[in-house]
Amino acid sequence: MQTSKIRDLFLDYFSSKDHLIMPSFSLIPQNDPSLLLIGAGMAPLKPFFTGEKKPPHPRVATCQKCVRTPDIERVGHTGRHATFFEMLGNFSFGDYFKEGAIEWAWDLVLNGYRMPEDRLWVSIYHEDDEAFKIWNEMVGVPSGRIKRMGKEDNFWEIGLGPCGPCSEIYYDMGEEAGCGSPDCTVGCDCDRYLEIWNLVFTQFSREASGELVELEQKNIDTGAGLERLAMAMQGVYSFYETDQVKPLYKYFEEIAEPGRRDQIVPLRIVTEHSRGTTFLVADGVIPSNEGRGYVLRRLLRRAVRFGKLLGIEGDFMTDAASLVVDTMGSAYPELKERHDYIRQIIELEERKFQETLAQGMDILEGYIDKLKQEGERTLPGEWAFKLYDTYGFPLDLTAEILQEEGFAIDRESFEQSLRDQQTRARAASQSVSGTDETVRYRAAEPLSTVFTGYETIEQEAKLILALVDGETREEVRENEKVEVLLDQTPFYAEAGGQIGDTGWIEGPQGRIEVENTVFSPWGQIIHQGVVIEGALLKEEAVTARVDGGRRRAVCRSHTSTHILHRALRNNLGEHINQAGSLVAPDRLRFDFNHFSAITPDQLLAVEEEVNRMVLANIAVEASLTTLEEAKELGATAIFTEKYEDESVRMVSTGNYTRELCGGTHVSETGQIGLFKIVTEEGIGSGLRRIEAVAGMGAYRQTVEREKLIKGIAASLNTSESRLEQKFNEHLTEHKALQKTVQELKQRLASYEVKSLLSEVKEVEGVKVLSAKVSADSFESLRMVMDEVKNNLDSGVIVLGAVGDGKVIMVGAVTPDLVKRGIEAHKIIKEVARRVGGGGGGKPDLAQAGGKNTAALPEALDSVEPLVREQLKSGGIA
Ligand code: ATP
Ligand code: MG
């Protein structure tokens, strides 16, 4: 049975059992800061399990795309572990329980998928006699086929809260798939007993006291790996051989160097990682050094490295992505929709990493030379680690290159470096614990806060929670920094790039100034601020008032952002997608993908288009609709938009642009007034950033410019209309003046030199010149010296000057006199001593400095006797 058929059959089966079929959620979790990526079918349904949200139906079934990075090291080494896979699941929110879940799972496996009964095994939690009974007595699984397993394997629990026993279905892949060990049975780590389906019975709640309390609303959460079902049904030992994955494996096998096509593990790794990278990019993840972006980067780079091991050249991951789109695009339309974009992002990251690898190769060659020189045969582990850590060289790759030249690696010290780094990383990640907020706002978790800020900016409300430093308070007083929750509020909490509202909350006896508004990890709206007057009590009636001027400015920025997005697409191409944004009252920032520089003309065209839309005064409307309908209308879904609600909020600016957006907007574009781009720049990775201003911000910017221009015109003593001409005149004049100054300087120097030459004296037939000149640096002093030397074919010259309160001196002796034993550095040293300094150089040229400026004339006078002395003795001792 084909993979797509297995998927359809699962969903059809549960649909016939009255389950609502929901499409796969994005890999990016919504409103769940505790999760990096969705790793199970139940993860995006969490609010329905906890009761925080009412599910659209008490029974739901999905086929969910999942990413599990903890399994990365197993990829390739087992045939059943992927970092990206699809999980089929049926869920009950307080509806059916163990009986229904077990009965249907067994029915589907036996009668739907027609798996041979003698291949199937089940496991249960060792204390779960209820499950045993259902398996054994109700559905008729022989007791010998039911394995009781411990807490480790068959009890699902994360921290406090809902938990429960689970029960798994295993498929025996046959002896030939196994490890051969006599102990090999269900639960063995090898590929023989394949866990295909896990049924979790969420039955208890783990209390803080450690006690297990039976839940009133019991839930069912099941997960069946689609790739694993396909393995079983297609009779293959790894998912790489199933119909959906095989084309990818084949592709890599074909482009690998012929001699390396038998390297199964690297081939599996590149195959597997190409799926995850494609899906992550499709869901809006962009390679980076942290969070989800890092997961993506790690998968992609790992694939490129293993590709190298296979001798594959070029942008092979980019083409692999297209193959993923081809094979999976009909089940996941987002792949087809974003095909070009996916290719662009992957190609860019792939090329960048190829360059890093090339740099690493140079380093490695350097290491090899060094080893050769020193006669060593083993590369120190620390060096191999540096290649691994900085240049992404896997140890195997380094080992292979070294081996070709007959070298080895000290693997032990490599492992040690790796361990050291892991320890450091662990310490670092603990110090930035992501659970801070979940602790700080724990008291908010059960509460509900309703947002009324689309309709109003002022709201009567009840203060339902007050926190000071994360502690619940009955009363908050003047000067305290507080965080408060209201049952309903017009304050917009920071989200989707739009910053949080500010304003005031007023009670009967006090007032809070709200400085920011944010979401709690569970989606409650939290007002952060200071009590500026009196006191406020919990349960008190209050009035919440948003700072209207600021909010209106934010709305102008936000609507401008939507128009800018559309205008960029119209002018640069439909590939433009938002990669990030900031919507603030005084400015807006818009990051997007584009792979070449934007010309000034293009930018101007974009700015003009936005302003034309502003002047057209188009109505901006928000409506609730379904995702399907929004897509049909051509709405731009920012990647992280959720699919989970039946309704999504769509903001339309006439027919010009439609986006799924939760933000606040102006009602007509005319309210934006004016839009100005301030800067446009590349920010790496094929991303560009525009910063712009709207409304009063834009107005103020033009006023500032105008002031600047007026100021310049005034100081040039001209009118604005003649400014450019006047400025050009000044520029020409300035250049002419510069030229004149230069000429005069030169004339002055030769003048000075001429008068200097008249001071040359003769000492026993040798021409000696020692004089004070005007120069403020060694450089200009040397220039004078050069000029003098040009005019004197033989002689001893010492020039001194006072610059910056210090004495500077240069001395020179022509070559004929050096031969006669006169040395410039010796003379200058003596002279410098007399001005309280020192110097040095060579026989033909030397320089010196000193502090005693008053002694300069006297010091220069000593040159003559020094020359005489040197001539006499044939040198100074
Ligand atoms: P395993 O012990 O094999 O790693 P698991 O106990 O981690 O599996 P669950 O968390 O119970 O698995 O996930 C539910 C189902 O999802 C499993 O029964 C299996 O079919 C599938 N599954 C889990 N992890 C992977 C993976 N890395 N690759 C492919 N399928 C997986
Ligand atoms: Mg696992």
Write the pLDDT tens digit of every residue in 661-712.
889 999 999 999 999 999 999 887 678 999 999 999 999 999 999 999 999 9
From 193, 198, 268, 269, give the residue whose CB has the most ligand 1 atoms within 8 Å, as the site to mutate: 198
| Torsion sign (Cα): 453, 581, 29, 443 | negative
CA 39 to ligand 1 center in whole angstroms: 10
Number of H helices, E strands in the chain: 26, 34
CA 211 to ligand 2 center in whole angstroms: 27
- Pick the atom of ligand 1 nearest to 166's CA: 11
- Amino acid (1-letter code) at residue 66: C
From 151, 195, 269, 273, give the residue whose CB has the most ligand 1 atoms within 8 Å, as the site to mutate: 195
pLDDT at 644: 46
CA distance 329 to 593: 22
CA distance 683 to 700: 27
- Pick the atom of ligand 1 nearest to 195's CA: 18
Query: Residue 483's beta-bridge partner residues?
Result: 467, 528
DSSP alpha helices (H): ranges in 313-378?
Answer: 316-328, 333-337, 339-374
Q: What residues contact 629, with CB distance under 8 A and at least 6 apart?
A: none
Average pLDDT value over all residues in the chain:
90
Write the pLDDT tens digit of every residue in 72-120.
889 999 999 999 999 999 999 999 999 999 999 999 999 999 999 999 9
Write the pLDDT tens digit of every residue in 202-223.
999 888 788 888 888 899 999 9
The ligand placed nearest to the CA atom of residue 242 is 1
**Helix orientation angle between 264-282 and 246-255, rounded to the nearest 10 degrees:** 120
| Torsion sign (Cα): 409, 411, 412, 416 | positive
CA 36 to ligand 2 center in whole angstroms: 17
- Pick the atom of ligand 1 nearest to 87's CA: 16
Q: Are 4 and 245 in contact (CB under 8 A)?
A: no
- Of all protein residues, the one whose alpha carbon is nearest to atom 14 of ligand 1 is 223
Q: Are 590 and 561 in contact (CB under 8 A)?
A: yes
The ligand placed nearest to the CA atom of residue 195 is 1
- Pick the atom of ligand 1 nearest to 194's CA: 3
Q: Are 202 and 163 in contact (CB under 8 A)?
A: yes
- Of all protein residues, the one whose alpha carbon is nearest to atom 31 of ligand 1 is 225
Q: Are 466 and 512 in contact (CB under 8 A)?
A: no
The yes-or-no verdict on residue 766 having pLDDT over 70 is yes
Write the pLDDT tens digit of every residue in 139-174.
999 999 999 999 888 999 877 778 899 999 999 999
The yes-or-no verdict on residue 875 having pLDDT over 70 is no
CA 66 to ligand 2 center in whole angstroms: 12
Coil/strand/helix, residue 98: helix
The ligand placed nearest to the CA atom of residue 79 is 1
Higher pLDDT, residue 4 or 288: 4
Q: What DSSP character marks residue 498?
A: B
Coil/strand/helix, residue 658: strand
Q: What residues contact 430, with CB distance under 8 A and at least 6 apart?
A: none
The yes-or-no verdict on residue 185 having pLDDT over 70 is yes
Range in 388-392, 587-591, 776-780, 797-801 with the lowest mean pLDDT: 388-392
Q: What is the mean pLDDT of residues 629-641?
A: 66
- Of all protein residues, the one whose alpha carbon is nearest to atom 24 of ligand 1 is 81
The yes-or-no verdict on residue 369 having pLDDT over 80 is yes
Burial, 211: exposed, middle or buried (Cβ in 10 Å; 0-12, 13-18, 19+)?
A: exposed
pLDDT at 425: 66
Q: What residues contact 69, with CB distance under 8 A and at least 6 apart?
A: 36, 37, 83, 295, 298
The fraction of the chain above a pLDDT of 90, given in percent, is 64
pLDDT at 434: 41
**What's this model's pTM, rounded to 2 decimal places?**
0.59
The yes-or-no verdict on residue 581 having pLDDT over 80 is yes
Coil/strand/helix, residue 789: helix
- Of all protein residues, the one whose alpha carbon is nearest to atom 30 of ligand 1 is 225
Write the pLDDT tens digit of every residue in 775-805.
888 888 888 898 888 888 899 999 999 988 8
Q: What residues contact 391, with CB distance under 8 A and at least 6 apart?
A: 356, 357, 359, 360, 363
CA 212 to ligand 2 center in whole angstroms: 25
The ligand placed nearest to the CA atom of residue 39 is 1
DSSP alpha helices (H): ranges in 186-315?
Answer: 226-234, 246-255, 264-282, 291-309
| Torsion sign (Cα): 309, 312, 313, 318 | negative
- Amino acid (1-letter code) at residue 802: V
Three-class SS of 283-324: CCCCCCCCHHHHHHHHHHHHHHHHHHHCCCCCCHHHHHHHHH
Write the pLDDT tens digit of every residue in 439-474.
788 888 889 999 999 999 999 999 999 999 889 999
- Ligand 1 site residues (CB inside 6 A) read 68, 71, 81-82, 85, 87, 195-198, 223-225, 227-228
CA 871 to ligand 2 center in whole angstroms: 94
- Confidence bin at 601 (pLDDT 50/70/90): very high
The yes-or-no verdict on residue 648 having pLDDT over 90 is no
- Of all protein residues, the one whose alpha carbon is nearest to atom 26 of ligand 1 is 81
Q: What DSSP character marks residue 664?
A: -
DSSP alpha helices (H): ranges in 392-479?
Answer: 395-404, 411-431, 436-440
pLDDT at 685: 66
CA distance 223 to 101: 11
The ligand placed nearest to the CA atom of residue 197 is 1
- Of all protein residues, the one whose alpha carbon is nearest to atom 19 of ligand 1 is 225
